[in-house]
Structure 1
Amino acid sequence: MAELTGMGDLSGGRRECGSSSAANAPNPGARLRSFDSDRHRITCFVTGTHRGQFADQELRHRHRARCEDRIRCAKDTGVRNLPLHDFAANQLWLEVVVLVADLTTWAQMLAFKDHPARCWEPKRLRLRVFLTAAAMGRLQVLPAP
């Protein structure tokens, strides 16, 4: 980890700006990007806050990124376009979307504990896991009564 505040020219920005960087080993299974070096992922960010240590600031930025990922996944699940005209009906629709997001999160934590599907986006889960189970259920031949 390095504090880069005094090394670069930040005169075009706010006076309070500071910048920090870190080189971390990527998560298992993560793809390295073209500008990662020596099998380490380079992370840099510019922040307007000076309180706390670098690790605290990085943790705050990572939590923000996770929150933005959850919002994007919720939009992919059904929050982006509300299908109904009535407020109460759309409120019910959002409750169903939240229920689906909770069930998906719990399934990823419990059922896919040591599987790459734990980190998959909702669209990929739908196409690879949920539709496969539905197709297998549809192909079951029921015994004659």
Structure 2
Amino acid sequence: MTVLDQALAQIPGSSSAKILIRLDGAGATHDLHEHMEKLTTTRRRVRFTTGWTITPTDETAIAELPEHAWEYSLKQDGDLHDDDHSGVAELTGLNRREGWLKGMRLIVRRVRPSGRHTENLTSLEKKTGWKYSIIATNITKLWGVAGSHQVQWIDALHRHHAVVEDRVRTNKAMGLHNLPAKSWTANRSWMLAANVAADLDAWLRLLALHDQDDLADAEPQTMRMRIYHQAGRLARHARVRHLRLDASWPWATTFTLAWNRLTCQPQTT
């Protein structure tokens, strides 16, 4: 709850009227759900989706679902999965677990289990041949968004949360894969430096390389090879410093473009 409040505090007031919070299964707690519900005020509407730990009660409810209750799931581009690969269904009201938010919806998703799931399948999953997961949400309908009440739409919305794994991978590449010291203080400093580096990398691509197809979403290793390790020489002439780049470097023009865009950014006040 503290981390969530600190994250929300960083959002500019002009963008805080409509908030969507997406969390994995660690977010499925009574206290956090109630806290997120209380964040809604007359000036701010907060909606959330979280993962959900499946219990035997949930599995009993899933087993009661008729086959016609299952819908094809959506891809991230909005198209339907056209094979017998996955499905979604409304589970709200069937599992009757007390003490949770009134009006909260539960949406169950099923997929064909992969090899890594084999050892962790429950009896129901082995029997049906499906791997199940559940989403908890307070979304009933988003104003102005057609179809936002449908289970397929909410399922696709929640699954897009997986993009955070890209940032986790980026931070690991920036130094968080291993901590260098046994000292808590030294590791805190290292972690801060690594996060600053990840932020700078993200802002560089957002502000200066957003229209460069091969760099807008580039991984840190690519950015290092093409931009950060750019060969150059800092020279002085007539009391003016000049950055001289190797003209044969394939990304010299891109580096120059990024440099000019960043230096033209307005000064922060």
**Hey, what's the Cα distance between the residues in 1 that align with 2:225 and 2:198?**
16
Within 5 Å, give how 1:1-145 maps onto structure 2.
16=62, 20-22=72-74, 45=86, 47=109, 48-49=133-134, 53=150, 54-63=152-161, 65-116=162-213, 117-132=215-230, 135-136=231-232, 139-142=233-236
Deviation of the 1:80 alpha carbon: 1.0
Residues 42/141 of structure 1: CA separation in 2 closer, same or farther (3 Å cut)? farther
Deviation of the 1:119 alpha carbon: 0.5
- Tell me which stretches of 4 or more aligned residues in structure 1 moved more than 4 Å: 40-46, 140-143
Contact 1:24–1:41 (CA under 8 A) maintained in structure 2: no
Deviation of the 1:84 alpha carbon: 2.0
**1:42-81 alpha-carbon deviations (Å, 9 max, x no partner):** 6965623377521121111111x21111111111111111
**Hey, what's the Cα distance between the residues in 2 that align with 1:22 and 1:101?**
32
Residues 104/126 of structure 1: CA separation in 2 closer, same or farther (3 Å cut)? same
Which stretches in structure 2 are left out of the alignment for 5+ residues? Answer: 1-58, 64-69, 88-108, 110-132, 138-148, 240-269
Contact 2:72–2:81 (CA under 8 A) maintained in structure 1: no
What residue is the counterpart of 2:37 in the other structure?
none
TM-score (normalised: structure 1) = 0.63
Deviation of the 1:109 alpha carbon: 0.5
Higher relative contact order (CA 8 A, sep 6+): 1
Which stretches in structure 1 are left out of the alignment for 5+ residues? Answer: 1-13, 26-39
Contact 1:112–1:118 (CA under 8 A) maintained in structure 2: yes
**Hey, what's the Cα distance between the residues in 2 that align with 1:68 and 1:23?**
18
Residues 19/74 of structure 1: CA separation in 2 closer, same or farther (3 Å cut)? farther
Contact 1:24–1:42 (CA under 8 A) maintained in structure 2: no
**Hey, what's the Cα distance between the residues in 1 that align with 2:174 and 2:80?**
30
TM-score (normalised: structure 2) = 0.36
**Hey, what's the Cα distance between the residues in 2 that align with 1:105 and 1:76?**
13
**1:66-111 alpha-carbon deviations (Å, 9 max, x no partner):** 1111111111111111112211011000000110111111111000
Q: Name the structure with the higher helix share.
A: 1
Secondary structure at 1:118's aligned position in 2?
coil
RMSD: 3.3
**Hey, what's the Cα distance between the residues in 2 that align with 1:41 and 1:72?**
29
Contact 2:73–2:155 (CA under 8 A) maintained in structure 1: no
Larger Rg over CA atoms:
2
Number of residue pairs matched by the alignment: 114
Residues 42/20 of structure 1: CA separation in 2 closer, same or farther (3 Å cut)? closer
